[in-house]
Amino acid sequence: MKILVTGGTGYIGSHTCVELIAEGHEVIILDNLYNSRIDVLDKIEQISGVRPKFYEADILDKEGLEKVFAENDFDAVIHFAGYKAVGESVSIPLTYYENNISGSINLYQMMKKYKVRNLVFSSSATVYGDDFEVPFKEEYGLGTTTNPYGTTKKMNEMIITDMDIAEPENSSVLLRYFNPIGAHESGLIGEIPNGIPNNLVPYIAQVVSGQRDYLRVWGNDYDTVDGTGVRDYIHVVDLARAHVKAIEYAASHKGTEVINIGTGKGYSVLEVLHAYEKACGHEIPYQIMERRPGDIAVCYADTKKAEGLLGFKAEYDIDRMCEDSYRFTCNLSKE
């Protein structure tokens, strides 16, 4: 298939491009480079042997977007482009709604105009909110989101569902990611955090590379194995492979499917920290702090639907996620 990947130079997008190319798909990337670097294209080429066609374009720019659709005959779109910082979305909600909602609507309108019917959208486990029991199941539906970022994911899910009802030829897969971490085994692509990381593994990586003094562990009085928060961490390469399965599923079905992408297994903050210590070969300093507002105790996926519908099962364990993250972190610090 000829696939447009919006946000394709970003963290999850770049890994997905590598896996799509490996499966013989043609990849065209659209990104405004707001949160990624142009040299990611070199890295994708180094890993896969193919340099994807690239458009430096913004989904908010309708004319620029139309040019990309007019010049290519896409079979499908994988839509990653968007802003993703939870805390920032609370401070600048309109910017988040503009980029993640208006930008997405521009893209969906272009897909309608050019009759591109197959879509995979990056949603998030955040749409479950704090309303349900673990493991989170797709059939629970949408919970109460706690920040504008989460609300943009929920609204996109609703918009796409309505769009597919109006256009029965459409086929969309809404992937609810749990916590993607790790990097490609080559150490060439991974997550490059912008500023002080909010998420756990990017923060640990910066402690290990000497940019931060210690990890602040947000609370150790939850009802979990060691009192620290539990999450379903998934290797970004596993997540990328799920996209290949999802876009192939979309191309052979009609309608809208919501699918969790996680491992189904939760790890506590301290368990992740210890796995990272194993990967880097030394202790990592940390301090227990108060709980972070808005955090939930435990979050992990019910993965049955991904297995049944897509035939997808995550392969890599937490040790591998930390080893690959560490390799990428070492390469970054050499730059």
Q: If binding is defined by CB under 6 A, does position 10 make contact with ligand NAD?
A: yes
Q: Is the Cβ of residue 74 or residue 177 nearer to ligand NAD in the bound state?
A: 177
Question: How far apart are the two ends of the chain, measured CA to CA in Å?
Answer: 35
User: Using alpha carbons only, what angle is made at residue 227 by residues 222 and 232, rounded to the nearest 5 degrees?
Assistant: 85
Q: Is residue 149 flagged as an active site residue?
A: yes
9 contacts ligand NAD (rule: CB under 6 A): yes
Residue 258 three-state SS: strand
- List all residues 6 or more positions away from 303 whose beta carbon is below 8 Å from its beta carbon: 135, 260, 261, 262, 263, 264, 313, 314
User: What residues from 21 to 40 belong to the interface with ligand NAD (CB under 6 A)?
Assistant: 31-36
Please identify, using beta-carbon distances, which residue of 150 and 193 lies nearer to ligand UD1.
Answer: 150
For position 11 contacting ligand NAD by CB under 6 A, the verdict is yes
In the bound complex, which residue of the shown chain has the CB atom lying closest to ligand UD1?
A: 229
**Got the DSSP string for 130-161?**
TSSPSSB-GGG-----SSHHHHHHHHHHHHHH
String of contacts with ligand NAD for each residue 112-131, x by CB under 6 A: ----------x-x-------
The single residue of 97, 149, 233, 326 carrying the catalytic annotation is: 149
Rounded to whole angstroms, what are the CA distances from 326 to 45, 179, 287, 332? 22, 17, 21, 10
Token reading at 60? 């908010």
Q: Shortest distance, CB of residue 116 to ligand NAD, whole angstroms? A: 17
Fill in the amino acid letter for 301.
A
Site residues for ligand UD1 per CB under 6 A? 86, 124, 126, 150, 179, 198-200, 203, 215-218, 229, 231, 269, 292, 294-295, 299
In the complex with ligand UD1, the residue whose CB is nearer, 187 or 193, is 193
Give the residue with the Cβ less far from ligand NAD, 60 or 309. Answer: 60
- What is the smallest separation between the CB atom of 283 and ligand NAD, expressed in angstroms? 26
Picked from ligand NAD, ligand UD1, none, the partner binding residue 269 (CB below 5 to 8 A depending on kind) is: ligand UD1
- Show the site string, 158-177: x = touches ligand NAD by CB under 6 A, - = not: -------------------x
Inter-residue contact 21 to 50 (CB < 8 Å): yes
Nearer to ligand NAD, 68 or 310 (CB): 68
The DSSP bridge pattern shows strands 118-124 and 267-268 to be unpaired
CA nearest 9: which of 172, 178, 192? 192
Restricting to residues 38-97, name those near ligand NAD by CB under 6 A: 58-60, 80-82, 84
CB of 128 to ligand UD1, least distance (A): 10
Q: How far is the CB of 282 from ligand NAD (least distance, A)?
A: 26
Between residues 131 and 213, which has the closer beta carbon with respect to ligand NAD?
A: 131
27, two tokens: 């990849």
The answer to whether the peptide bond before residue 135 is cis (omega within 30 degrees of 0) is: yes
Q: Which residue stretch of 10-18, 278-286, 298-306, 321-329 sits at the interface with ligand NAD (rule: CB under 6 A)?
A: 10-18
Does 324 engage in binding with ligand NAD (CB under 6 A)? no
**Alpha carbon distance 49, 255 (integer Å):** 34
Count CB neighbours of 240 within 10 A. 21
Tell me the C-alpha distance between 146 and 140, whole Å. Answer: 17
Positions annotated as catalytic residues are: 149
Summarize as ranges the residues that interact with ligand NAD (CB under 6 A).
Answer: 7, 9-13, 31-36, 58-60, 80-82, 84, 99, 103, 122, 124, 177, 180
